[in-house]
Structure formats: structure tokens, C-alpha cells
Homo-oligomer: A and B are copies of this chain.
Amino acid sequence: MLTERQLFILQLLIDDYIRSAEPVGSRALSKREDVTFSSATIRNELADLEEMGFLEKTHSSSGRIPSEKGYRFYVDHLMMPPVISKEEIYNIKDLFAEKMYEVERVIQQSAKILSELTNYTAIILGPEIFDTRLKHLQIVPISKDTAVVILVANTGHVENRTITLPDGMKLSDIEKMINILNERLKDIPLVELKSKIFKEIANVLKQHIENYHQMDQILESIFNTNQSEKVFYGGKTNILTQPEFKDINKVRSILNTFEQEDIIYRLLRSEKDGIDVKIGQENNLEAIKNCSVITASYSIGGKHMGSIAVLGPTRMQYHRAISLLDYLSKDLSNALTKRYQTLNDW
């Protein structure tokens, strides 16, 4: 068990290191006003803390830096109460005061402001399609054998696919099908569309449509693209300002990871409600083993909708990032919920 004094020293050291990015020595700590004991005493404590795995040295006679275990302990038990300035709160409030109807724009702006306030990279996963329901299906022919199929969801989200008609299929067949689907699929969650079609509606279609087997493929191409959520970024290159990322190769592999949306998606897809902090290797991703990721979820009417995260170096201003994220995710949820209610009490 850690003594009061050890807790105190550990906290001071980590705060100092987060601020300075330099290994912290006993003398530097002992000089602080609120430290009453000598540097020798601190040295002894530091040695103990290192033995317990909370601290590390960069070389045998250097000052200490926090280990991942140290950061973990800090985040779980030691962090200072967060301070967010009024100005920052106004920044965020302003953002949501604006009338923005496209969900995507709200989210993009949130990412931007979050990255500006933290100076780290902000990542937001677009709303999951749970409880996003089909409002309308529309087909627009654009040539003799191609057409655009448009799906409109109750959230205002629009998707479209271009399809090609197989030889011999008439446009009117497709239109007929779309009509049938429109009747039967209205208000069905997008995630359930596919199974609903192939389980329940296939039979109806077979009765009405001549070449159902050809339709089959088209239905696939319309409803199959089980796209993962869209990923929004803010401050993609902020990591470059951190002194620990002078190494071009590290930076490159991080930036490349950002482009691989499936990886980011797995990284942020969190089951947990509330704030989740993953430190360094806890992320299980080589490219960001020196980074920490703080994830929160946002929701609509209490229903989990997506994730919002901050990615920075393990030497992160955790308390600041966490409080900003907490604040922003709640405001985002409120803004989206409000918007969503006007969609549903109709």
C-alpha cells in the first residue's frame, strides 16, 4: 500500500512531467513550497515507487518518468479536479447554439473544437445506425440501364447507391419493387433492413415480380454495403507538436493508422458508458503504443449512439482532456437528443 507521502510525491511528479516532458528529479521536487522534506527523503520514496512499478528511469542516473502503471494509477486515483475556463465553456456552448441540421456537421464541428481546446487529435465515430429508421426509399433512373437508389433515414441521414440493371430487366420492375419495399420497410431500423427483406418480404416480392432471381442481386447491392460508421477527425496533425514525437516514423505510422477507418473503429468502439481511458499499450495497437485514448460515448435520448475520443501522447493532460470530453459529449448528446425529439414527436 502507498503511504500518503508516496501518493503526494507520485502526483507531484506526474503533474510535473506532464507539464514539462522532462524526467523529474528529487531536487526539483524538493524545491517546491509545499514539499517539507528533503531531496534525500524523496530519493528514497522515488526508489520505492520505481520498485513498485509506478515510475521508470530513462537511464541509470536520470530523473523519473511515469510508467504506464503510474499513469493508470494517476488517472484512477490522483488526478486534480479538472479546471475548464468559462471561456472554453462558452466556446462549446456557442457551437451548439448554432442551428445545424445535418448531424454530420454538428459532429464535424465538435471534433474541430475538441481538438483545438485540447491540442490533441479528436476522433468521433458517427452515429451508429441502431434506431436510425428508414423513412423513405426512392429510385431515380439516370440512364437506360442505371439508376440511383436513395435511402432517407428519420435522422436526416441520406445514403445512395448507383445500380445497373441486368439485361432484360425493365425499369418498371424495379420501381414496382421499390414501391413494395417502401410500404413494408417504413420505420424499420436500417440495421434490420436486410434480414427483414430476405426473411419476410422475399415471398411477397416473388409473387409480384417476374424475375425475382435477378432482383436478388440488386437487393444485395443496395442493402448489403454494411458500411462501418463514418469517422470524423479534428486536429489530425496535432500529434506533431508533441516533443515526444520527433521521430518521423512514429508519426507516419500514427497518421497512416488514422486513414484506416476500420482500425480506428475497433479502437473506439467501446461498450462502457461514461469515460474510458486507455493508456499506451492498453490500446493493443502497435502504432499508438505511446499514445493514450480517452473515449466517451454520446447518446440520443439515453440510447448509445457513437463514440467521441481524444488521442494524445501517454503524457497527456488527462484531467483537462477528460473534463473537456465529458462536457462536450454531454452537450453533444443534448443537442442531438433535442434534434431527434423534434423528429419523433411528429
Contacts and interface: CB of A to CB of B under 8 A. Distances in A.
A152 interface: yes
A279 to B, nearest CB: 24
A144 B343 CA distance: 7
A136 B145 contact: no
A129 interface: no
A234 to B, nearest CB: 10
A163 B100 CA distance: 10
A239 to B, nearest CB: 10
A228 B209 CA distance: 42
A154 B135 contact: no
Interface residues of A, number: 42
Nearest to A256: B237
A151 to B, nearest CB: 10
A218 interface: no
A252 B241 contact: yes
A2 B241 CA distance: 47
A211 interface: no
Nearest to A160: B158
A161 B102 CA distance: 8
A246 interface: yes
Contacts of A251: 240, 248, 251
A152 to B, nearest CB: 4
A194 B148 CA distance: 23
A335 to B, nearest CB: 14
Contact of A344 (B143, B153, B160, B255): B143
A222 to B, nearest CB: 12
A346 to B, nearest CB: 4
Contact of A259 (B145, B154, B236): B236
Interface string A236-269: 1100110001101001100110010000000000
B154 A158 contact: no
A187 to B, nearest CB: 11
23 contacts: A102-B161, A135-B140, A136-B140, A138-B138, A138-B150, A142-B153, A142-B156, A142-B343, A143-B342, A143-B344, A144-B342, A144-B345, A145-B342, A148-B156, A150-B158, A158-B158, A236-B259, A240-B251, A240-B252, A240-B255, A245-B248, A251-B251, A255-B255
